[in-house]
């Protein structure tokens, strides 16, 4: 079949494989850091810790209402002029963490907000420690409520990694754009679609599966 040039696909696949590994690496790093940052912000907001609460609010609104590309341009092209020079990978992870931390914070906050104060008091009154209350009463229920939002955030952040070529990283979009010069746009695009599907679809399916299992963790819902 000469409609698709399979030799081209087979010979260029390793390029996409390498780029996909970079994308996964940056996405995993950024998403884990974002989750950690988001957790801290959500706790600061939930317990209304003075000063940190306001800082967290300001940061969350700033990061959620601006595009990642603009954040990255400022980080990568703006800040070095003020003396803060960093390489592309660091910048990409910092950018993804900055953006994702805010979305994660909102996701966690939604989960925490759904927990009735009675739950905490009841847990303490039957003799659980604060840590145990968090571990066995608050966290499972909050996670069940927050899961759809966490899942949407993870997928969103994975898709956002597609802009990393602007900070000079050889990611999937970079490789695809480079290959287009050789013609073969159909094959290149096919490889691009397959690469993203291979990376993101399993994550999407996994989170969907977990969502169905976690649904029963909420009390009385």
Partner 1 sequence: MLDSALSVFRMGRNMARLMEGLGVTLEISVVAVGLSLIFGVPLGLMMAGSNRPLKWLLRGYLEFVRVMPILALLFIFYYSLSKFWNINLSALTVSIFVFTLWGAAEMGDLVRGAVTSLPRHQWDSARALGLSEGQVSFRVIIPQAIRRLLPGVINLTTRMIKTTPFVFFINLPDLLKVGQQIVEVSGLRYPLASVWVYGFIFIIYFVICYPISLFSRYLERRWAS
The residues of the shown chain that bind partner 1, judged by CB under 8 A, are 61-62, 64-67, 69-71, 73-74, 77-79, 81-82, 155, 159-163, 166, 172-173, 176-177, 180, 183, 185-186, 189, 192-193, 196-197, 200-201, 204
Supply the minimum distance, in Å, between the C-beta of residue 69 and partner 1.
Answer: 4
Residue 41 burial class via C-beta count within 10 angstroms: exposed 0-12, middle 13-18, buried 19 and up: buried
CA-CA-CA-CA torsion for 133, 136, 140, 142, nearest 10 degrees? 0
Q: Which is nearer to partner 1, 74 or 136 (CB)?
A: 74
Supply the minimum distance, in Å, between the C-beta of residue 31 and partner 1.
Answer: 15
Supply the minimum distance, in Å, between the C-beta of residue 27 and partner 1.
Answer: 11
Compute the distance between CA of residue 184 and CA of residue 133 in angstroms, rounded to an integer: 59
Q: Which is nearer to partner 1, 55 or 78 (CB)?
A: 78
Supply the minimum distance, in Å, between the C-beta of residue 157 and partner 1.
Answer: 11
5: its two tokens: 């040039």
The count of other CB atoms within 10 Å of the CB of residue 114 is 15
Supply the minimum distance, in Å, between the C-beta of residue 64 and partner 1.
Answer: 7
Q: Which is nearer to partner 1, 60 or 115 (CB)?
A: 60
Coil, strand or helix: which one is 191? Answer: helix
27: its two tokens: 């996405």
How many CA atoms lie within 13 Å of 114's alpha carbon, on the beta-carbon side? Answer: 22
The count of other CB atoms within 10 Å of the CB of residue 130 is 11
Q: Which is nearer to partner 1, 138 or 160 (CB)?
A: 160
Which of 93, 82, 78 has the alpha carbon at shortest distance from 22?
93
Q: Which is nearer to partner 1, 79 or 134 (CB)?
A: 79
């Amino acid at each position: 079949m000469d409609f698709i040039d399979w030799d081209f696909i087979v010979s260029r696949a390793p390029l996409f494989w390498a780029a996909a590994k970079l994308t996964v690496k940056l996405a995993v790093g950024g998403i884990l850091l974002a989750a950690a940052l988001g957790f801290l912000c959500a706790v600061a907001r939930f317990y209304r810790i003075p000063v940190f609460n306001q800082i967290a609010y300001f940061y969350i609104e700033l990061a959620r209402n601006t595009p990642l590309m603009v954040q990255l341009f400022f980080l990568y092209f703006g800040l070095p002029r003020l003396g803060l020079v960093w390489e592309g990978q660091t910048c990409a992870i910092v950018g993804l963490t900055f953006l994702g931390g805010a979305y994660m914070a909102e996701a966690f906050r939604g989960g925490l907000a759904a927990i009735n104060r009675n739950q905490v008091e009841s847990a303490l009154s039957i003799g659980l420690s604060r840590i145990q209350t968090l571990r066995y009463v608050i966290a499972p229920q909050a996670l069940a409520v927050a899961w759809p939002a966490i899942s949407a955030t993870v997928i969103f952040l994975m898709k956002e990694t597609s802009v990393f070529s602007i900070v000079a990283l050889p990611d999937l979009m970079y490789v695809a754009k480079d290959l287009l010069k050789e013609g073969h746009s159909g094959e290149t695009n096919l490889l691009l679609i397959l690469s993203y599907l291979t990376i993101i679809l399993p994550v999407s399916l996994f989170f969907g599966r977990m969502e169905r299992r976690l649904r029963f963790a909420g009390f009385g819902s």
